[in-house]
Amino acid sequence: MQIETGTEQLACDLEDRVLTITLNRPEARNALSPELTGAFRAVLAGQAGDASVGAVVVTGAGGAFCAGGDVKGMAARKDDGRTADEKFRDMRARHHEIAGALRALRVPTIAALPGPAAGAGLAIALACDLRIAAEGAFVSAGYARVGLSGDYGFAWLLTRVVGPARARELMLTSARVDAARGLEIGLFNQVVPAAGLAEATRALAGPLANGPRVAFAYMKDNLDEALDIDHATAIDREAERMLRTQGTADHKEAARAFVEKRPPEFQGR
């Protein structure tokens, strides 16, 4: 089912509980224009958290995932008369409502990279739970090359995915990381032939989208806290959430299915 986004720069469809969001500016390597980011924010706010959505896939049209900010647009930018505080509030809202909103979703999220991701484009991929890339894909922080420090929570996200030493290296050098290296250092969870990217993404997203929604939400809570709390606190919070999931219809169905030697049919409750 196609979902109207209000612009050709962003495509969106929902099939078998998988919401696929496609950045659609292939002529600009899907760089983030105001029109694209506005539509992206609206989709994440209005569609991604809907009960009919069991997983979210973010991908790019053509041969790229996302080149990040529109550098040509930056070069042509003129003073619009806004104060520094007004500009900050607008930037903060945009970043929270894209990267922040993706990370806050309690359903599994997947970035499918057909090609390069840089800067904010890489931040969007890092905000997802899982990343699957075509063999020809590569990534780069890219900010240093255009004299910028980073946005969308990039440093925070990258540090948690690859660790502090590699995060510093990748940000300071803007090194280009190919798919094989990305898989090796944990940037990517899977690397597949380009022709098989869509099929591999469906194979990954489908079971997740139809999995135990409540359990996934609590798993993500546990994982989000894992780097910020001590082990004793983690044990307590996991025990609370474990008790809640034990009372769900999905857990009871899974237990019955195990005894009956059949796949469970989760209902998300």
Asked if residue 251 and residue 184 are part of one domain, the reply reads no
Say whether both 173 and 227 belong to one domain.
no
Indicate whether 147 and 47 sit together in one domain. yes
| Per-residue confidence (pLDDT) for residue 74, from 0 to 100 | 58
For 181-200, b/e burial (b = at least 16 CB within 10 A) is: ebbeeebbbbbbeeeebbeb
Does residue 87 lie in a domain region? yes
Q: Tell me: the pLDDT tens digits for 81-115? A: 888 999 999 999 999 999 999 999 999 999 999 99
- The model's pTM: 0.94
Q: Is residue 108 part of a domain?
A: yes
Beta bridge partners of 57: 20, 110
Domains held by the chain: number:
2
Q: Is position 147 within any domain?
A: yes
d(CA 156, CA 164): 9
Mark whether 142 and 26 lie in a shared domain. Answer: yes
Whether residue 200 sits in one domain with residue 222? no
CB 120 within 8 Å of CB 106? no
If DSSP codes are grouped into helix, strand and coil, which group holds residue 177?
Answer: strand
The structure tokens 């910020």 sit at 228
One domain, residues 123 and 239: no
In a domain, 131, yes or no: yes
Which of 187, 209, 231 is a domain's end point?
Answer: 209
Could you identify the residue written with the tokens 């090359």? 145
**For the residues 144-172, what does the mean pLDDT come to?**
96
Where does a domain end: 209, 231, 252? 209
Instruction: Tell me the pairing of strands 109-113 and 130-134.
Output: parallel
Q: Determine, yes or no, domain membership for 269.
A: no
Assess whether 120 and 174 both reside in one domain.
Answer: yes
Identify the domain boundary among 192, 209, 226: 209
Query: Range of 114's domain?
Result: 10-209
DSSP string, 214-241: HHHHHHHHHHHHTTTS-HHHHHHHHHHH
In a domain, residue 267? The reply is no
Task: Find all residues with CB under 8 Å of 25, minimum gap 6, and list them.
Answer: 9, 31, 33, 36, 61
pLDDT tens-digit series, residues 191-238: 999 999 999 999 999 999 999 999 999 999 999 999 999 999 999 999
Residue 165: which CATH number?
Answer: 3.90.226.10
Is residue 57 located within the same domain as residue 115? Answer: yes
Q: Is residue 266 part of a domain?
A: no
Residue pair 15/56 in contact (Cβ under 8 Å)? The answer is no
Asked if residue 249 and residue 161 are part of one domain, the reply reads no
Residue 77: pLDDT band with limits 50, 70, 90 = low
Q: What confidence category does residue 69 fall into, taking pLDDT thresholds of 50, 70 and 90?
A: confident
| In a shared domain, residues 225 and 198 | no
Q: SS3 string of 90-147?
A: HHHHHHHHHHHHHHHCCCCEEEEECCCEECHHHHHHHCCCEEEEECCCEEECCHHHHC
| 56 and 138 part of one domain | yes
Q: Is residue 114 part of a domain?
A: yes
Residue position matching structure tokens 């495509």: 11
Unique residue bearing structure tokens 């209005």: 46
233 in the same domain as 141: no
